[in-house]
Amino acid sequence: MFKVIDIHVHMQPLAQMKPECRELIRKTQPNFDFILELVNDAGKFVALLDREGIERAGIINYVAPVVMGFTEEVNDWAARYTHGFRDRLLPFGSLDPTTVKDAAASMDRIINDLKLPALKLHPPHQLFYPNQYQDGLKSLEVIYRKAEEARLPVMIHTGTSIFHNARSKYGDPMGLDDVAVDFPNLPIIIAHGGRPLWMKESVFLTRRHRNVYLEISSIPPQNLLNYFPDLERLADKVLWGSDWPGPMVPGMKANVERFLPLPLSDAAKQRILYDNAARLFRL
């Protein structure tokens, strides 16, 4: 029996989400009413983790007022939602570098007041390139620097997005090469492994930089070896995630069940499913 940390689960304040974005989830998730129950009751979500055999879950929230509707209130929401369940839930906070007014003060609040253990940036939904600090986006540099000082893992969306008004050009992970060089002590998580356009680039970055990790959520687990044939050799740098209840994701347990038959060693499976995240988040 493998222990599992699902580092990418979208428990979010859906009331903040723009109606057209919420409708996309409703259309692609037949159990949408149940998802609403979970969003409003963390205890019910933890009970679901128990039933699904998931030890811990990363609760992904991010600020994206233009594309998704989410404001910086998601940070407070994530802190409230996980209060009393920090032994099971890892809340991700966020800032939008294109709209934040005082990045230093907001980062200090995330780290010191809300005590959120990780950060999520979503370039296709926040409309910036991950290395845009080189072109004058000062707030982005502040976010990275503050996170690096606190050893706060930063998960960055890579790959495409199907949400209305998202700009998938910002999902190219190669800008993270600059970030990894300029902030060598910043733990960087490549969310979704660049799927489906930039998977080879994501593997290159994971191999090149000691501070870069490959996260494989939102990729059909049964097909992982088609995209990442060297997954066994990468196993020390790979993090497990489902992206549930994102569009068309079948479920946390269902994803694990589709992953386990892959011809990987048990040691590699345990590192991917649990050990790497436990080490990164010092659990």
The DSSP result for 156-173, as a single string, is EE-S---STT--GGGG-T
CA 131 distance to own-chain centroid: 18
Q: pTM value?
A: 0.97
pLDDT at 19: 95
Rounded (10°) CA dihedral 106, 10, 210, 179: -50
Give the model's confidence band at 180: pLDDT under 50 very low, under 70 low, under 90 confident, else very high: very high
| Contact yes or no for 39/101 (Cβ under 8 A) | no
Please tell me the predicted confidence (pLDDT) of residue 57. 98
Helix pair angle (19-28, 32-39), 10° resolution: 120
Residue 1, pLDDT above cutoff 90: no
Q: What is the pLDDT of residue 15?
A: 93
Tokens of 74: 């998601």
Please state, for a pLDDT cut of 90, what percent of the chain lies above it. Answer: 95
pLDDT in tens, 189-248: 999 999 999 999 999 999 999 999 999 999 999 999 999 999 999 999 999 999 999 888
The helix (H) or strand (E) run that includes residue 81 is helix 73-82
pLDDT at 178 over 90: yes
Peptide bond into 196 cis (omega under 30): yes
What total of structural domains would you count in the chain? Answer: 1
List the end-to-end C-alpha distance of the chain, in Å, as a whole number: 19
d(CA 271, CA 268): 5
Q: pLDDT, tens digit, for every residue of 74-101?
A: 999 999 999 999 999 999 999 999 999 9
Checking if the pLDDT of 124 tops 90, the result is: yes
pLDDT digits (tens, 9 = 90+) for 243-263: 999 888 999 999 999 999 999
- Strand 56-59 and strand 89-93: the pairing is parallel
Cα–Cα distance, 1 to 265 (Å, whole number)? 14
What's phi and psi for 119, nearest 5 deg?
-130, 145
Token output for 114: 């809300």
CATH number at residue 83: 3.20.20.140
pLDDT at 161: 96
Q: Which domain holds residue 176?
A: 5-280
pLDDT the model gives residue 247 = 83
Residue 157 has pLDDT above 90, yes or no: yes
Cα-based distances in Å from 239 to 29, 191, 210 = 24, 9, 14
| pLDDT at 53 (0 to 100) | 97
Q: How confident is the model at residue 29 (pLDDT cuts 50, 70, 90)?
A: confident
